[in-house]
Amino acid sequence: MFPLMTSGIWFVLLTISVVFMNLSPLLMVEGEQQVPCLFIMGDSLFDNGNNNNLITNAKANYPPYGIDFPDGPTGRFTNGKNTADFLAELLGFDKYIEPYATVKGVEIFRGVNYASGAAGIRDESGIHLGDRINLNRQLRHHKATISHMSTLLLLGNKTLTKEYLSKCIYIVGMGNNDYINNYLMPQYYLSSKLYKPEKYATILIQQYYKQLKTLYRYGARKVAVFGVGSLGCIPAELDLYGTKDSICVDSINSAVKKFADKFKPMIDDLNSNLPDANFIYINITSIAIGDPTAIGLTNLAEPCCEISPFIAKGQCKYNGSACSDRASHYFWDGFHPTEIPNLVSAQRAYTALLPTDAYPFDISHLAQL
């Protein structure tokens, strides 16, 4: 997957790396790359092509996905850019972070996107859709990347590699599929039969905590952990469960909130118990607060693309139609936002608009550490 470099490229890379590691954040100006690299772990909200060649129904490398993206359908589960793309722009990267499935050679030093549609904290989440790269597998992929980086930097210098990684930003967004494609699907999974919502949320956060500690052990020191949103308000769940007098499925939001409420204590624990750790929490529920019409979003419940009637119901139909007023739609398909909400999520994660958007601070401050 990673071709060997010539000695000349190796020397240039080493020189660039040392410069990055000694660059003071105080010298950064707007528009410049603020950190040496960006690593992304997550699900379909961040996936930019890792599922394309997997045997799975959870993929988005076909029209009308990517209808507003310069390269067309790339595997992003939206009409244009996803939140990870916008965050890379805000951090000053001149191009998007490559997916693990296709990244080559020296590109790994800019970062890698490991995110995978249908992936979860729990290994089994999303399995009914086919293959997916769960968080444990993403961590193993990152370990392989680090090993390759160490080989390229001073012939296996792990200390230099860890010093480099400590200056990078990591973005992790997991947990959605542990509900959408696990707990809320009793026809495929036993979790809702075995655990009440509070117990399931506790088990989930405990496993997530261990996985984030593993990421820390691999060298991550600046980590932005994205929470889960109000899953009871997405079109696929509204279609499946229906509502009574409420706009959303309240029982789903209530169950998911038990998990979301555990993020801040987890972040506090990680920062207290791990030396030099800087974990932050991005509160997606808080970011969703506001008047969507202020940014032109007037259709908040209907998908913009024609929905597939098959096993991946909720995703766009292959070569299906798409609405022309995409700028007014919040949802692209039954699960994922259009490009505009993705941009807003990235902007408020980077620079918090409300004190509740990020804890204890936002990504722009994380980059300066």
Kindly list the catalytic residues. 44, 333, 336
- Length of the chain measured in residues: 369
Kindly report the CA angle at 37 between 159 and 51, in degrees rounded to 5?
A: 110
> In whole angstroms, what is the distance from residue 352 CA to residue 369 CA?
17
Residue 167's identity, in one-letter code, is K
Dihedral pair phi/psi, residue 279, rounded to 5°: -95, 140
**Residue 338 and residue 79 in contact, taking contact as beta carbons nearer than 8 Å:** yes
Adjacent-strand bridge partners of 48 = 76
Helix (H, G, I), strand (E, B) or coil at 183: helix
H or E element at residue 7: helix 7-22
> In whole angstroms, what is the distance from residue 65 CA to residue 288 CA?
23
**Cis omega (within 30 of 0) for bond into 360:** yes
**Residue 86 and residue 287 in contact, taking contact as beta carbons nearer than 8 Å:** no
**Residue 200 and residue 183 in contact, taking contact as beta carbons nearer than 8 Å:** yes
Closest to 257 in 3D by CA, of 192, 300, 200, 217: 200
Adjacent-strand bridge partners of 305 = 322
**Residue 316 and residue 75 in contact, taking contact as beta carbons nearer than 8 Å:** no
> Tokens 């919502």 correspond to what residue?
197
> Tokens 């916008």 correspond to what residue?
86
- Pairing mode of beta strands 38-42, 169-173: parallel
Residues 6+ apart with CB under 8 A from 266: 205, 208, 209, 212, 225, 281
